[in-house]
A and B are shown apart, each in its own frame.
Chain A
Amino acid sequence: MAESLGFVNILTIFVLAIFVGNEVITKVPPILHTPLMSGSNAISGITIIGAILAVGTGRETLTVVLGMAALICATINVVGGFLVTHRMLKKFKKFKK
């Protein structure tokens, strides 16, 4: 019982988050579609949390090894994603005539 309620709880969070995402992102103009993609991509690197937990609490060698590989990939995703988005966005300027 407890577990099934827990599942419904996180399912609720999942569904609501999708709706929030829908609302927020519908307003992004086409001019910013690339930064939106690379920026949101960096956020999808949130798996880094799972990788830290796998390495940090792993009792099996294989878990730690897989966790390390995941950690490196996710960090590339996060750091690279936010940096390249920043680099792009800095270029979007409005110049006075």
Chain B
Amino acid sequence: MSALVISNPVLSNTAYLVAAVLFIAGLKGLSHPRTAVRGNLVGAVGMLLAVVVTLLQQGIMSFELILLGMLAGAVIGAVLALKIQMTAMPQLVGLFNGFGGVASVLVAGAVFYQAVVAMLGAAGVQAVAPGLQFTIATASSGLIGAVTFFGSLVAFGKLQGIVTEKPVRYPGEQVVKVLVLLLTIFFGVLVVLEPQQINYFWYLAAAGSLLGVLLVMPIGGADMPIVIALLNSYSGLAAAATGFVLSNNILIIAGSLVGASGIILTRIMCRAMNRSLANVLFGGVGAVVESAAQDDIYAGKVKATSAEEVAMILKSAQRVVFVPGYGMAVARAQTPVRLLTELMEKDGIEVEFGIHPVAGRMPGHMNVLLAEENISYDKLREMDQINPAFPATDVTIVLGANDVVNPIAREASGSPIAGMPILDVDKSRTVVVIKRSLAPGFAGIPNPLFAADNTLMLFSDGKKAMDDLVTAYKDA
């Protein structure tokens, strides 16, 4: 074994550089479905290289312990990754974010503790206080990691249905959040000024945990894509901060790559809702439902339809577009969607899917569900691609989506979704909306689409409606 030990830091740092290049190449591969599988594998090889090189470094002891820990983690991770249903993907991604965050806190705490003990032990001789980079990085890692971990746990709870998906708001909410933030900054400063008091680090981590809970609790289900993307970014930044604690390049590079990726996704999600990040985190949406306006819009204009009628219309269509939303995921209606797609394609009908960037509970949620059903990815169209094609579409089937197809968003002002980019489904010849009732979506406003002349409402549970449609289409 000793022959294999790497005693030269140049060697290990060079290997880390190779790992960093593999991470970047891997992420680059993720930019196209054709190269994505390989890209992910390249990233995994980079990680393996970094781990092996670290294990071979001089001064690493207790191999049995390390291998035991990695074995335990690998088994748990593999079971979670392979056993989980695709429909539970948002909460799994949230949970993995959390594990990354807590690992950063624990590593920072472990290293900090050792440094402090070493400092106190040397007090009789000459006390050497840890440097500023070390203490500031430790405080940052503890704070960001704790926010990530507890924020992710709450997000997981909300997506899993353990915690209410509704925004939890209370009087003085912003004040409480600011106070807790000030508290974390206070403990952070203490960690830097008085590192010998190790307990300040744990107070900091505790305050950060509380902050994580307080930040995510008020956020409602439809804003989850933003939160998940943001926590993704935090988990990277926490790793980068830990890199500053250890003065370790690979942690800094990998962490900042992920931090950048999460921030980009967060920005894309915010833009897709026409909201600022501050508005998502601190503002409120969906508070008031104006029932009078709702009656005005819907009264006497809503046309209900049946699966048989829709099947007849589909039979004579040349081009059909599905617009799925979170409702499809909840109802687990994606299988009959695929069956109907296959039946229609057999009849020569062109079928595509129009996917809004924030449909679902995480970025790209609908694409994963439809890909799982073996629907070809070239049929999955993003908003900018599909919108010009709606006027040439005979039938658009809206399945479990609401706010993202609300034409009110195109109008100037007044409504909470004004200016939000939407899918222009109302421009297709016929719109079929599958929905259980006329209840408003997350934004809490009525949707004039439901009362439009070219809209038919199929009032039903998403899964049942799609099953009925498949049967009716076969019989028609």
Contact = CB atoms under 8 A, between A and B. Distances in A.
Given A57-B61, A76-B73, A67 B106 contact: yes
A24 B24 contact: yes
B258 A44 contact: yes
Given A31-B364, A44-B258, A10 B249 contact: yes
Interface residues of A, number: 84
A46 B50 contact: yes
B135 interface: no
Contact of A29 (B31, B43, B131, B246): B31
Interface residues of B, number: 115
Interface string A60-73: 10111111111111
Contacts of B73: 71-76, 78-79
A79 B110 contact: no
B377 A93 contact: yes
A87 to B, nearest CB: 7
A30 B355 contact: yes
A44 B110 contact: no
Contacts of A94: 33-34, 376-378
Contacts, number: 388
A42 B453 CA distance: 49
Contact of B261 (A14, A40, A63): A40
Given A44-B236, A45-B100, A75-B73, A82 B44 contact: yes
A7 B133 contact: yes
A91 B110 contact: no
Interface in B341-389: 345, 355, 357, 362-365, 367-368, 371-372, 374, 376-378, 380, 382
A52 B111 contact: no
B60 A52 contact: yes
Given A18-B260, A73-B103, A31 B367 contact: yes
B244 interface: yes
Interface in A9-57: 10, 13-14, 17-22, 24-57
A54 B33 contact: no
A76 B476 CA distance: 51
Contacts of B39: 39
A35 B59 CA distance: 37
Contact of A34 (B63, B117, B258, B362): B362
A79 B107 contact: no
B66 A80 contact: no
> Per DSSP, are chain B's interface residues mostly helix, strand or loop, or mixed?
helix
B260 A21 contact: yes
Interface string B31-58: 1111011011101101100110011010
B30 A81 contact: no
Contact of A89 (B40, B74, B84): B40
A90 B23 CA distance: 19
A92 B89 CA distance: 15
Contact of A66 (B81, B106, B252): B106
A73 to B, nearest CB: 4
Contacts of A24: 24, 27-28, 31, 257
A3 to B, nearest CB: 6
Interface string B90-106: 00110011011011101
B248 interface: yes
Contacts of A43: 23, 26-27, 43, 46-47, 236, 254, 257-258
Q: Report which residue of A46, A78, A86, A87 has the largest number of chain B beta carbons within 10 angstroms of its beta carbon.
A: A46
Nearest to A79: B77
Interface string B252-275: 111111111110110010000000
A79 B47 CA distance: 10
Interface string B102-146: 111011011101100110000000000001010000000000000
B107 A67 contact: yes
Given A28-B30, A49-B248, A58-B114, A35 B36 contact: yes
27 contacts: A20-B24, A30-B363, A33-B362, A33-B364, A34-B363, A35-B40, A37-B228, A37-B229, A41-B258, A43-B26, A43-B43, A43-B257, A45-B103, A46-B47, A47-B107, A49-B250, A51-B103, A56-B59, A56-B60, A59-B114, A63-B111, A66-B110, A76-B96, A80-B99, A81-B96, A82-B44, A88-B368
| Smallest CB-CB A-B distances: 3 pairs | A75-B73, A21-B260, A80-B77
Given A46-B254, A82-B44, 5 more contacts: A32-B32, A33-B265, A37-B262, A39-B43, A50-B246
Interface of B: 20, 23-24, 26-28, 30-34, 36-37, 39-41, 43-44, 46-47, 50-51, 54-55, 57, 59-63, 65-66, 69-70, 72-74, 76-78, 80-82, 84, 86, 89, 92-93, 96-97, 99-100, 102-104, 106-107, 109-111, 113-114, 117-118, 131, 133, 228-229, 232, 235-236, 238-240, 242-262, 264-265, 268, 345, 355, 357, 362-365, 367-368, 371-372, 374, 376-378, 380, 382
